A and B are shown apart, each in its own frame.
Chain A
């Protein structure tokens, strides 16, 4: 095994699947109508890790923090070829902002031990902050390369990557270990392997088991997903969840997606002429 890679992945509501059907009559989003998915850019991060594994050899560990049901994306990671998965879950982690999330995730990474690369998605499609990656890097006191599109070179001590930044592309290099945030332009994530689905579809985390069992029979078959909570991470509950979150949501409103003055225009010469005249009267062309 040449490289040790950690991929951070989040389960998110699929905010890209907002079709007319996921809208309520008043034009706001029906959040419960959205399915839970693997955050899209985390799949790009995972794909990058798998490609490194194929080229150079690597062991990949995927970590997610979330409710027990988030173990679904860990199965999705196993179906694609990762070597180890860890579910970080605890009621005391609920309502974490990005600072508290990064405190827990960086602690989990330290618990894994040594690593060469931490790969994150650039941004999660629900919170949309793109803050967790850099905040984890700071807590681990390692370097970061954000907005990564492509790995140019990877050596045992150093990596160079193409970043997509303000004024174009930038080739940047850093010493390992390093944290990368990966954009959706990096690659086309592979689909799960049918063989691995057969193998791992019964993998479960302990807190997913409804029978209250210990999962011993699953563990024997390598199908018990590792699970860590605040105690096993040895993290102070005061830095997690709401108490570890300096931000507060004062108010949250659904966006009403309705033009204030919607007007339907016929696709005919008359209709278009009328539209143009209105736009001219509104000084749209001045």
Chain B
């Protein structure tokens, strides 16, 4: 059995088939890309994996369970974290607090201990704070810890989203257009960061991206989606030569390859 597998997943919105019979298997430690023209259904695939949408049909196997019907918070607890295409930080909270939130679900305390300020609870809080600080340092955001999240620059916000997702302790990380809106230097740094996450944290990465140079340079395997259907799968070199992929992208004005 694969590390992670989606089998014949179908998602329908009214009459529209946003994802049609989608299957994919990911191996542990892989770095896989998901590409496709606008509106192809990529984000919907991620929403389905992470429990924000229940698929109309199909199964999603993860850690020996079918998680297709899990609510979002349970999916995260089971070890799959994600970022969002349109950044969704806790804007009015500090960078540090944003990361600390990720430790809440696994905290073993209760509200009475919190309200009475028991030393056990205070110890746990201090531990979370310390872990979050270290985490931010590792991802190069330590100097921003006390800033309000909404005041960060765009690239930093994307980075914080990744840091926050990573803090939930995932084994599989889904990144939805992490390079969107970044300048070339930030994009290079991001690629390095993603490699670091895979190599040092041992997290499997599945990412959506429109920046072809970025995807082709980073991912080991790529899946192409068009109108909800998978039209190709292979190494970057294979995908660049695939006639169906070129057609799909020409049709929507994109250029494959580069």
Instruction: Judge: A and B partners, yes or no.
Output: no
B residues engaging A (CB < 8 A)? none
